[in-house]
Amino acid sequence: MNLRPHHFILWGLFIAGMFLMPELVGKGTLRTMIFACYLAMFAISWDILSGRTGYISFGHPFLIGIGAYTTGILTRRYGFPVEASIPIAVLVTMAGGLIVLLPALRIKGSYFALVTLAVMELMYQLVPVVRPDLTGGTRGISRLPALTRGAENGYYLAVGLMLAVALMAWLLMRTRVGTALWAIGMNEESVRGSGLSTTRLKSFAFLVSAGVAGMAGAFYAHYLGTITPRAFFDINVLFQIIVAVLIGGAGTIVGPIIGAFFMVFLLEWLRPYLPGQERFFVYGLIALVIYMYQPRGIMAIVEGAWTRLRGARS
Amino acid sequence: MMQIIIQGMLLSGLYALIAMGFMLIFSIGRTLNLAYGAYIMVGGYIYFWLSQQLGMPKIVGFGGAVAVGALMGLLKHRLIVKPLKGDPVAVEISTLILAVIMQSAMVLAFGDASKILLPLIPGVVTVAGAQVTYNILAATIMSWVIILALYAFVRGTHTGRAMQAVSMDEKGAAISGVDPDRINMITWAISGGLGAAGGVFFASYTQLSPSMWVAPVIISVAIVIVGGIGSIIGTLIVAHIIGFLEITVVAVLAPELRGVFTMVLIIGVLIMRPQGLFGREEH
Amino acid sequence: MTMALEVRNLVKRFGGLVATNDLSFDLAEGESLGLIGPNGAGKTTVFSQVMGELRQTSGSIALFGEEISSLSTAQRIARGVSRTYQVPRPFSDLDVRENIRVGLMPDSLRAMIFGAADRDREDELALSVGFTRQDLDRPASELSMGDLRKLEFARTLATGAKVLLLDEVFAGLTTGEIAMIAEVIQDLRHRGFTFLMVSHDLPAMEPLVDRAIAIERGTLLAQGAFADVLADEAVRASYLGVA
């Protein structure tokens, strides 16, 4: 995509708006936005791997969970300061993901998706029973040290992290690696036939994706203060991540962000009418309709409408 | 020991039944139909609704579940899989969304709490010191009957052979006068019905809850892939490996570890031998 | 003279089927060799083995004197051999320039991240195979069959390979496009590139090759000057259906 001045203006307005938000909205909305920011980071992480290369990961909750649990265990059980535990959590997520999922990059399509799904289910079953003295079993770990005080600071931290992740992903995807990852998603054999080792490229995408997931998972755990297996290794978490990417637009940076905010706010608006898990019913239907109508998401719908509008004017 | 063998046989039969329906779809489109879990779950709930809430005869409840499952299969093919033209990634994702929608729909209709399903056939018999409910015995016998019937159908009837032909080479089958569209619809309907039937038994074996679908769907996908795609015998064998593995783990180690070994086995085999233990290599 | 490619006693079996049967041939540096044979003779299988997409059952393949049988496809390409495919395999959502960019990329993550794309070289390659300036920003999904072949050829050139295996480069091209590609090939021959090519368009291929070999069912039938190979009795029997 070629950059135009209006892109910079839009991003500038977006960032300014995000940082002004605490002046404009209440604490409740701010909390919703914090969750949206973390979801956006998870979504960007998923998109770096799956949105680009076409290797669909159903195991991202697993990566996020490793990050969260590592920092949780280190700070609560071993008394590590968060400055040390979060970087370690990122490394552990990358290493853990590498050990479990890297061999899976040799296999393709549905097989990769299935292995990642099985890994997530494995963690869900394993975490409560292995060393419950460390993981806290099904009840998880609570009273994680907080990084920030009050909703406003938590919000600034979340927005700052999200923008940093988005910027990093954007810069990376603009390089030739980004093009090559895209190309893998379109035709892996041809990338190999162009003299590139696709395994190395995929592993790289996977490592970056895992690093982002681990970092976001660790910060999110400290924001929540409590982690449980149900809250991380769950199909609903996976659903929210994937839907955020697809609704926003896979293979773009702004898409996952839009998708995450759209999803979180839609769920929030539905809350008064449908308090329980039923919200996912309406939400899922909307997601399915958007996906069936335009698999490239809201971004493509907006772009299409914009083009048509300009076409009608001229 | 006897206990393990009997329990293992029973659980394996149940898994084989659930996996069969999934195999039909996977061998045709190579699509990871995650909404297969929705048939299992919805089947259980429809049975619960008809026979326990409305007080209809159990056989009506069972028939209703199978019919709804088959209808769901048909609708899914018509409304989702066909419009997406079998693009595997799109199908995987849309079926995941659909499964979560159905899960929420069940919460909406029946609430979040898990339910105990009254057995299809009540009563307990003691075989060689092992307590066997008639219900799970019926599930096992039923699964064997269905598996044999399916085998006879695929091998012996014109439609069954056409299904095989479509699964091997859709274009080739079309050229030789088979209407792949019709065959696909039949297959999706049978698959939905089998899933729902499996769901009724699975739910009465464990319990009925809106999130019950994830584990059986992973297990059935894995049984099919590990067994070698399209191989009914392979599917049977692997269903028994997993069934016995789980029962042994529960009896010897700890009940909580039951799923852990299954997942490790699945992951291991998929990575080492993606073509499955009994399958031919695919390109 | 250094041999660009030496294939010795190459055998490839698929189960009971013998796809390549004890095939040996040489390709001198700067030489252009036509590989001819009927459909299913095993020409593409030979390409796949040279590129490492298929592993041979036995036999050896050497590139510039170095045995490459144990190398990955990427490593072989880095050593200077590359191929086109019978059915073009473009990156459909990328434009012409980006498609070529993938071919130009070095196989090093560091270089790919920190180095910039060489736009001039991308344009030069695209124009050299007959694309117009307007084509450069068109996505591959919009290109015609002929354009896709040109794109494939350009991307193969972009890998920097000195030994080029061309599989049916002329199929689906107009007479004008054939002339254009032929001109590019001639130019590359003058610059010392080595070619192994397969084509059903024998008249188009004839001026582009120094020599030809004919195979049938993976077995060498004849080799020598193009006209002599075509005149060979066995070749005529198998290939042209003339007794």
Q: How far is A259 from chain B (nearest CA, A)?
A: 15
Residue A215 above 90 pLDDT? yes
Per cent of chain C over pLDDT 70 is: 98
Please write the tens of the pLDDT for every residue from B31-90: 777 888 889 999 999 999 998 888 888 888 889 999 999 999 888 888 888 887 767 778
Instruction: Determine contact, residues B183/B166, Cβ cutoff 8 Å.
Output: yes
Q: Of B263, B270, B204, B269, whose CA–CA distance to B10 is shortest?
A: B204
Q: Would you call B224 an interface residue with chain A, using a CB distance cutoff of 8 Å?
A: no
Q: Would you call B253 an interface residue with chain A, using a CB distance cutoff of 8 Å?
A: no
Q: Would you call B172 an interface residue with chain A, using a CB distance cutoff of 8 Å?
A: no
CA angle in degrees (0–180, nearest 5) for B8-B13-B16: 120
Find, in chain A, the residue whose alpha carbon is nearest to that of C80.
Answer: A195
Q: Does residue B118 come out as left (phi exceeding 0), alpha (psi in the -120 to 50 range) or beta?
A: beta
- CB pair distance less than 8 Å for A280 and B104: yes
Mean pLDDT across C30-57? 89
Find, in chain A, the residue whose alpha carbon is nearest to that of B214.
Answer: A235
In sequence order, what E strands does A77-171 have? none
List of long-range contacts for A1-5, beta carbons under 8 Å, 24+ apart: none
Round to whole Å and give the CA distance between A209 and A101: 12
Residue A241 above 70 pLDDT? yes
Round to whole Å and give the CA distance between C83 and C74: 12
Q: Of A48, A231, A263, whose CA–CA distance to A128 is shortest?
A: A231
Q: Where are the domains of chain A?
A: 29-236
Please write the tens of the pLDDT for every residue from A118-144: 888 888 888 888 888 888 887 888 888
Per cent of chain A over pLDDT 70 is: 97
Query: Which positions ≥6 away from C4 have C-beta within 8 Å?
Result: C27, C28, C29, C30, C31, C63, C64, C162, C163, C194
Query: Which positions ≥6 away from C56 have C-beta within 8 Å?
Result: C10, C11, C12, C20, C49, C69
Q: Would you call B40 an interface residue with chain A, using a CB distance cutoff of 8 Å?
A: no
Show the tokens assigned to A196.
């590139």
Query: Which positions ≥6 away from C108 have C-beta within 8 Å?
Result: none
Determine which of B117-126, B190-199, B208-217 has the lowest per-residue pLDDT on average.
Answer: B117-126
- CB pair distance less than 8 Å for A190 and C114: no
Round to whole Å and give the CA distance between C54 and C59: 13
Q: How far is A177 from chain C (nearest CA, A)?
A: 6
* pLDDT attached to residue C243: 43
**Could you say which DSSP state residue B169 is in?**
-
Round to whole Å and give the CA distance between C218 and A255: 52
Q: Of C81, C208, C89, whose CA–CA distance to C143 is shortest?
A: C89
Q: Is the dihedral of CA A128, B111, A262, A151 positive or negative?
A: negative
Please write the tens of the pLDDT for every residue from C62-113: 999 999 999 999 899 999 999 998 888 899 889 999 999 999 998 888 888 8
Q: Does residue B279 come out as left (phi exceeding 0), alpha (psi in the -120 to 50 range) or beta?
A: beta
At residue B271 the predicted structure's pLDDT band, cuts being 50, 70 and 90, is confident
Q: Would you call B174 an interface residue with chain A, using a CB distance cutoff of 8 Å?
A: no
CA angle in degrees (0–180, nearest 5) for C88-C89-C94: 120
* pLDDT attached to residue A201: 93
Query: Which positions ≥6 away from B169 have C-beta within 8 Å?
Result: none
- What are the distances in angstroms from CA A214 to CA A135, A232, B18, C56? 17, 12, 35, 43
Half-sphere exposure of A137 (CA within 13 A, CB side): 4
- CB pair distance less than 8 Å for A284 and B80: no
Strand partners, A201: none
Q: Of B34, B41, B44, whose CA–CA distance to B64 is shortest?
A: B44
Residue C159 above 80 pLDDT? yes
Which of chain C's residues have a Cβ under 8 Å away from the Cβ of A172?
113
Q: Of B185, B183, B57, whose CA–CA distance to B121 is shortest?
A: B57
Q: Is the dihedral of CA C98, C104, C106, C112 positive or negative?
A: negative
Q: How far is A4 from chain B (nearest CA, A)?
A: 32
Element (H, E) at B157: none
In sequence order, what E strands does C124-231 have? 163-167, 194-198, 211-216, 219-224
At residue A221 the predicted structure's pLDDT band, cuts being 50, 70 and 90, is very high
Please write the tens of the pLDDT for every residue from A192-211: 989 899 989 999 999 999 99
* pLDDT attached to residue A291: 84
* pLDDT attached to residue B281: 45
At residue B272 the predicted structure's pLDDT band, cuts being 50, 70 and 90, is confident
Residue C133 above 60 pLDDT? yes
Show the tokens assigned to B163.
């299904």
* pLDDT attached to residue B275: 66
Round to whole Å and give the CA distance between C221 and C165: 20
Q: Which of A172, A194, A200 sits opposite C102 (nearest CB)?
A: A194
Please write the tens of the pLDDT for every residue from A170-197: 999 999 999 999 999 888 989 998 989 9
Residue A2 above 80 pLDDT? no
* pLDDT attached to residue A313: 64
Residue C240 above 70 pLDDT? no
How many inter-chain contacts (A to C, CB under 8 Å) are there? Answer: 84
Which of chain B's residues have a Cβ under 8 Å away from the Cβ of A278?
104, 107-108
> What phi, psi does B31 have (nearest 5°)?
-100, 135
Instruction: Determine contact, residues A169/A253, Cβ cutoff 8 Å.
Output: yes
Find, in chain A, the residue whose alpha carbon is nearest to that of B109.
Answer: A278
Q: Would you call C74 an interface residue with chain A, using a CB distance cutoff of 8 Å?
A: yes
Query: Which positions ≥6 away from A97 have C-beta within 8 Å?
Result: A62, A63, A66, A206, A207, A210, A213, A214
* pLDDT attached to residue B283: 36
Q: Is C21 exposed, middle or buried (0-12, 13-18, 19+ CB in 10 A)?
A: middle
* pLDDT attached to residue B3: 76
* pLDDT attached to residue B277: 65
Element (H, E) at C66: strand C66-67
CA angle in degrees (0–180, nearest 5) for C90-C93-C99: 45
Which of chain C's residues have a Cβ under 8 Å away from the Cβ of A182?
91, 93-94
Round to whole Å and give the CA distance between A221 and A92: 15
The residue among C54 and B225 whose pLDDT is bigger is C54
> What phi, psi does A31 have (nearest 5°)?
-65, -40
The residue among C186 and B154 whose pLDDT is bigger is C186
Q: How far is B145 from chain A (nearest CA, A)?
A: 29
* pLDDT attached to residue C241: 61
Q: How far is A48 from chain C (nearest CA, A)?
A: 15
Which of chain C's residues have a Cβ under 8 Å away from the Cβ of A201?
109
Within a domain: B135: yes
The residue among C223 and B257 whose pLDDT is bigger is C223
Fill in the amino acid letter for C182.
Answer: A
Residue C34 above 90 pLDDT? yes
C-alpha B116: how far from its chain's center? 20
Within a domain: B271: no
Round to whole Å and give the CA distance between A69 and A228: 9
Report the CATH number that the domain containing residue C141 is assigned in CATH: 3.40.50.300
The total number of structural domains in chain B stands at: 1
Mean pLDDT across A56-65? 91
Residue A8 above 50 pLDDT? yes
Which of chain B's residues have a Cβ under 8 Å away from the Cβ of A98?
none
Which of chain C's residues have a Cβ under 8 Å away from the Cβ of A202?
none
Residue B122 above 80 pLDDT? no
Chains in contact with chain B (at least 3 beta-carbon pairs closer than 8 A): A
- CB pair distance less than 8 Å for B32 and A277: no
Find, in chain C, the residue whose alpha carbon is nearest to that of A176.
Answer: C112
Chain A residues bordering chain B (beta-carbon distance below 8 Å) = 54, 56, 58, 100, 103-104, 106-107, 109-111, 113-115, 117-119, 121-122, 125-126, 128-129, 235-236, 238-239, 242-243, 246, 276-281, 284-285, 287-288, 291-292, 295
Packing angle, helices B180-205 and B58-76, rounded to 10: 140
Round to whole Å and give the CA distance between A93 and A212: 9
Q: Which of A183, A197, A200 sits opposite C102 (nearest CB)?
A: A183
Q: Of B193, B212, B220, B276, whose CA–CA distance to B19 is shortest?
A: B220
* pLDDT attached to residue C6: 93
Q: How far is A185 from chain C (nearest CA, A)?
A: 9
Fill in the amino acid letter for C217.
Answer: R
Q: Would you call C155 an interface residue with chain A, using a CB distance cutoff of 8 Å?
A: yes
- CB pair distance less than 8 Å for B270 and A121: no
Show the tokens assigned to B6.
């009997």
Q: How far is C231 from chain A (nearest CA, A)?
A: 35
Chains in contact with chain A (at least 3 beta-carbon pairs closer than 8 A): B, C
Round to whole Å and give the CA distance between C36 and C214: 5
Mean pLDDT across A107-112? 76
Round to whole Å and give the CA distance between C79 and C85: 19
The string over B203-225, giving b where at least 16 C-beta atoms fall within 10 Å of a residue's C-beta and e elsewhere, is: bbbbebbbbbbbbbbbbbbbbbb
Token pair 């291991």 in the structure block, residue: B268
Q: Is the dihedral of CA A58, A61, A179, C92 positive or negative?
A: positive
Torsion of CA B9, B10, B14, B15, to 10 degrees: -40
- CB pair distance less than 8 Å for A190 and C78: no
Q: Is the dihedral of CA A266, A271, A274, A280 positive or negative?
A: positive
- CB pair distance less than 8 Å for C112 and A177: yes
The total number of structural domains in chain C stands at: 1
Which of chain C's residues have a Cβ under 8 Å away from the Cβ of A187?
89-92
Which of chain C's residues have a Cβ under 8 Å away from the Cβ of A193?
51, 73, 77, 82-83, 85, 89, 156
Q: Of A144, A142, A165, A151, whose CA–CA distance to A34 is shortest?
A: A151
Biggest CA-to-CA distance, chain C: 61
Token pair 């919460």 in the structure block, residue: B107
Query: Which positions ≥6 away from A162 have C-beta within 8 Å?
Result: A37, A38, A40, A41, A257
Q: Which of A111, A235, A243 sits opposite B225 (nearest CB)?
A: A111
Q: What is the CA radius of gyration of chain A?
A: 19
Which of chain B's residues have a Cβ under 8 Å away from the Cβ of A238?
96
The residue among A116 and A216 whose pLDDT is bigger is A216
Round to whole Å and give the CA distance between A148 and A219: 11
Please write the tens of the pLDDT for every residue from A272-314: 887 766 777 888 888 888 888 887 888 788 888 888 887 776 5
* pLDDT attached to residue A131: 80
Within a domain: B238: no
Q: Which of B99, B108, B222 sits opposite A278 (nearest CB)?
A: B108
Which of chain B's residues have a Cβ under 8 Å away from the Cβ of A122?
259-260, 263-264, 267
